[in-house]
Chains A and B, each alone.
Chain A
Amino acid sequence: MKKFLTAVFTMASTTCAFAQETPNSPLEISGSVDTYFKYDFAKKPNIKTSFASDHNSVSLGMIDLVLKKRTGKASFVGELSFGPRGQAQSLINAAEDVSSFHIQNLYVNYDFTDQFSMTAGYMGTFIGYEVISPVGNFNYSTSYLFTNGPFQNAGIKATYKFSDKVSLMAGLFNDWNVYTATRGVSSVGGQLMIAPVEGWTAYLNVLSGAGAGGYGTIEDLTTSYQITSKFKLGLNAANYDVDNDGGGYAGAALYPQFAVADAVTLGLRGEYFKYKEVAGVAGDKYTAVTFTANIKSGGLTFIPEVRLDHNGNKPFVKENGMAAPNAGQFSLAAVYAF
């Protein structure tokens, strides 16, 4: 670790001299609010992914407020969320901290050159396709891959941009989703970004160290390709192994989206996900299909969505309380971004 830090700071100090002045920006303020109605076909909450959890209720997502400011080569981002989506449903220590607001991003960044920058603080995770903010997702409900992966990583990272087509990030991080490390600065992570052709971007991610369920390693591929002006295809595939046969998960999700009008885009999410065996006990396997529309008017997006999940081990329930292999839900969300 000492060698890594030395290398990073040597690189930073040698490249500092070549840095160009970047103009200051005004204080940026942005954010979003979201609300939803969900109806489970079994008439009780059934699908256990993150957010949109309430059945037959007009419920709140969150209000999300983001501040950003750049002064020369230095910048900061502070993002706070208030509401169920950004509080109890995002926090790993939700039981103790249910009424707290939640920090989504709190970091400082310094661009030593146009190519090399360093960032320190609490950041949205670099792992995975979906994010906590509903503005960043096409579907309103979330995938199993998202729910089981990290939401945020606190740490320090260095990014080097070789060109517009290739960049590399490496960093040291705390355990997942905590403001304060419980097991020290215990993870190392990296991300290789490649853009083979215009419109296609792929991120190869690795995070190894303290995480959910113990110490383990995630390998993750997140990619999207805007094939035409109307058609976009996204893919997320991940594998997480917890050390000492502690389980983990593996899965993949495909995200085709097609714009049928200026204001209307239809999309599908097809996912396969499985928990790994723990101490000889096989984990559950899920398949899920989510059909979503995004209807935009100004800053407002309506998101009607139908979702069907399947698991042969019958973890779901029917209306009469009997175990069932299938679950379905309809939701209608409204997300306003400003």
Chain B
Amino acid sequence: MKYGLLLVFTLFSITLSAQQKLFTTAEDGKFIYYKIIDSQKVGKDVLVQRAKNFINAQQKIIQTENQTDSSLTAKGKLIIDKTVLVVGHPSGEVIYNLNFEARDHKYRFWLTDFKFIPYQRDRYGNFVATTHIGSPLEKKVDKLTSGQWKDIQAAAYQKVEKFGESLKKFLASDATVKKIAKPAETISTKKW
């Protein structure tokens, strides 16, 4: 009973904290996810190259649009899932623009122009986009759909935050250097 209540309150507090995390708004009125990162001892060129590698590694969901020697822009999408514990299904996708700029020892990136495209189950049981025209994520919606829209905004934020963390992690490590594969460990039954 005690553990059950503890679990309920833990889940409740996780849900509350998840709800509190939402996008901030940029000067143009659009949602934005903005980060400035100090990257000690790493030069501008290396940072830009690592950002390119990060994008090239997941070309199915993000593609470079423009690039200079110190910046790049890309367009991408993130799939929003309707998930309870381990089961669920995709409910839509959020498309976005990524901007990346680097200087020696630091870089910044921001994601903005978020647009949501809902998915619907097709005749074969697969979830597919219902339209190609996305709704801006910061859009005000009417009362009938406001609850669902807030859930979509919160889920989008979680996905964007996760994406941002993976970008930071990738840029913090030299992922272009291939690790030398260690030989698989074996156990000898001949020795005691």
List A residues at the B interface (Cβ < 8 Å).
26-30, 66, 68, 77, 79, 104-105, 107, 123-126, 131, 133, 135-136, 198-199, 226, 228-229, 232, 261-263, 295-299, 337-338
Which one of B86, B90, B126, B145 contacts A263 once the chains associate, using CB atoms below 8 Å? B145
Which residue of chain A has the shortest Cβ distance to B85 in the bound complex?
A26
Asked if A262 and B87 sit within 8 Å, CB to CB, the answer is no
In the complex, chain B residues whose CB is within 8 Å of the CB of A124: 123-125
State A226–B130 Cα separation when bound (angstroms): 9
In the complex, chain B residues whose CB is within 8 Å of the CB of A26: 83, 86-88
In the complex, chain A residues whose CB is within 8 Å of the CB of B90: 28
Shortest beta-carbon distance from A259 to chain B in Å: 10
If A124-B124, A338-B82 are given as contacts, then 20 extra A-B residue pairs at C-beta distance below 8 Å, sorted by A number, are A26-B86, A26-B87, A26-B88, A28-B88, A28-B127, A29-B87, A29-B89, A30-B89, A30-B125, A30-B127, A66-B121, A68-B89, A104-B125, A136-B121, A198-B132, A199-B131, A263-B142, A263-B144, A263-B145, A298-B147
Asked if A337 and B132 sit within 8 Å, CB to CB, the answer is no
B122 at the interface (CB under 8 A from A): yes
In the complex, chain B residues whose CB is within 8 Å of the CB of A232: 131
Which residue of chain A has the shortest Cβ distance to B86 in the bound complex?
A26
CB proximity to A under 8 Å, residues B57-87: 82-83, 86-87
In the complex, chain A residues whose CB is within 8 Å of the CB of B125: 30, 66, 68, 77, 79, 104-105, 124
Sample 25 A-B pairs with CB under 8 A, ordered by A number: A26-B86, A28-B127, A30-B127, A66-B125, A68-B125, A68-B126, A79-B125, A104-B125, A105-B124, A105-B125, A123-B124, A124-B125, A125-B123, A131-B123, A133-B121, A136-B120, A136-B123, A228-B133, A229-B131, A262-B142, A263-B142, A297-B145, A297-B148, A298-B145, A299-B148
A-B interface, 8 closest residue pairs, ranked by CB to CB distance from nearest? A124-B123, A263-B144, A77-B125, A28-B89, A297-B144, A30-B89, A229-B133, A131-B123
In the complex, chain A residues whose CB is within 8 Å of the CB of B144: 262-263, 295-297
B141 at the interface (CB under 8 A from A): yes
In the complex, chain B residues whose CB is within 8 Å of the CB of A296: 144-145
State A261–B144 Cα separation when bound (angstroms): 10
List B residues at the A interface (Cβ < 8 Å).
82-83, 86-90, 120-127, 131-133, 135, 141-142, 144-145, 147-148
In the complex, chain B residues whose CB is within 8 Å of the CB of A133: 121, 123
Which residue of chain B has the shortest Cβ distance to A128 in the bound complex?
B123
Shortest beta-carbon distance from A297 to chain B in Å: 5
State A262–B136 Cα separation when bound (angstroms): 12
Which one of B89, B120, B127, B145 contacts A262 once the chains associate, using CB atoms below 8 Å? B145
Which one of A104, A126, A199, A295 contacts B132 once the chains associate, using CB atoms below 8 Å? A199
In the complex, chain A residues whose CB is within 8 Å of the CB of B86: 26-27
Asked if B133 and A136 sit within 8 Å, CB to CB, the answer is no
State A27–B86 Cα separation when bound (angstroms): 7
In the complex, chain A residues whose CB is within 8 Å of the CB of B147: 298
In the complex, chain A residues whose CB is within 8 Å of the CB of B82: 338
Which residue of chain B has the shortest Cβ distance to A338 in the bound complex?
B82
Shortest beta-carbon distance from A123 to chain B in Å: 6
In the complex, chain A residues whose CB is within 8 Å of the CB of B89: 28-30, 68
In the complex, chain A residues whose CB is within 8 Å of the CB of B124: 77, 105, 107, 123-124
The CB with the most chain A CB atoms within 10 A, among B120, B124, B126, is that of B124
In the complex, chain B residues whose CB is within 8 Å of the CB of A29: 87-89
State A278–B147 Cα separation when bound (angstroms): 55
In the complex, chain A residues whose CB is within 8 Å of the CB of B142: 261-263
Asked if B121 and A30 sit within 8 Å, CB to CB, the answer is yes
Shortest beta-carbon distance from B103 to chain A in Å: 35
State A77–B121 Cα separation when bound (angstroms): 12
Shortest beta-carbon distance from B170 to chain A in Å: 17
